[in-house]
Amino acid sequence: MKILKNLLGFVPGNLSLYKMAFRHKSVATFLKDRAKNSNERLEFLGDAVLGSVVAEVLFKIYPYKDEGFLTEMRSKIVSRVNLNQLARKLGFNELVEFDPKSVNVTSKQSSLLGDAFEALIGAVYLDKGYDFTKEFLSQRIIKPHVDIHTLELTETNFKSKLIEWCQRHSKDISFEPIPNEVGENLKLFTIQVLIDGEAMASGVDYSKKNAEKFAAEKTCELLGI
């Protein structure tokens, strides 16, 4: 309770919501139908509210950046890796209830802490409303803990990542332009990734470089790289 109040900076209203936010599915019980008293439904809600708040923060910080830039910045901020780190820094490992026999919380793959962070946002939203949650996230989380300008500079270079992966697995990779169809905007480039001749994801943008980047990013995601 003390940790929670310190973490939030306000007195929570509906405590049972916050308790649920910290309850991992490994210790949850079924309520009715397929619903559990775990944090997963709150995580669904919190993820959406977080996405919306971060979208607005970026929209206002960067009035002259296009939607591609904004989307990329948001992905960096709300990435699993980033949310897990953030939740760990905020002391979530002392707050989340889980079954240590079925979950390895120290594993890099584990998103238990980041998921609980999103669930907490869902709880704050239901307890206090959108404007309060926005203020809480901006002032208490983003401002002190998220270095937006550093994230702006950390470029995730999906193209080189993908090329390296193909080299390691002895696969041929190429980035092929796809001609525009009739009626399509002629200024747009479509680039398709081929691996060993097999079509992977494609990307579209006004610059060829960005189209390649998007195609590489989607292919990385697809291959789980």
Q: Which residues are catalytic?
A: 47, 118
136: exposed, middle or buried (C-beta count within 10 Å: 0-12, 13-18, 19+)?
Answer: buried
- C-beta closer to its own copies: residue 2 or 34: 34
Q: How far is the CB of 101 from its own copies (least distance, A)?
A: 9
How far is the C-alpha of 203 from the C-alpha of 189, rounded, in Å? Answer: 8
- Asked if 201 interacts with its own copies (CB under 8 A), we say yes
Q: Which stretch binds its own copies (CB under 8 A): 5-13, 37-45, 81-89, 154-162?
A: 37-45
* Cα 141 to Cα 171: distance, rounded to the nearest angstrom: 43
Residue 150, exposed/middle/buried by CB under 10 A (0-12, 13-18, 19+)? Answer: exposed
Residue 19, C-beta contacts closer than 8 angstroms, at least 6 positions apart:
none
144 vs 224 by CB, closer to its own copies: 224
| Options 64, 144, 153, 154; binder of its own copies; rule CB under 8 A | 64
Amino acid at 197: G
Secondary-structure breakdown of the chain: helix, strand, coil percentages, each rounded to the nearest 5: 55, 10, 30
**x/- site string to its own copies, residues 161 to 200, per CB under 8 A?**
----------------------xxxxx----------xxx
Complex with its own copies: residue 33 or 94, whichever CB lies closer = 33
Q: Residue 65 class from Cβ within 10 Å (0-12 exposed, 13-18 middle, 19+ buried)?
A: middle
- Taking CB under 8 A as the binding criterion, the range among 8-16, 87-95, 101-109, 145-153 that sits at the site for its own copies is 101-109
Interface contacts to its own copies, rule CB under 8 A: 26, 31-36, 40-41, 43-45, 47-49, 51-52, 54-56, 59, 63-71, 102-104, 107, 109, 125, 129-131, 134, 183-187, 198-202, 218, 222-224
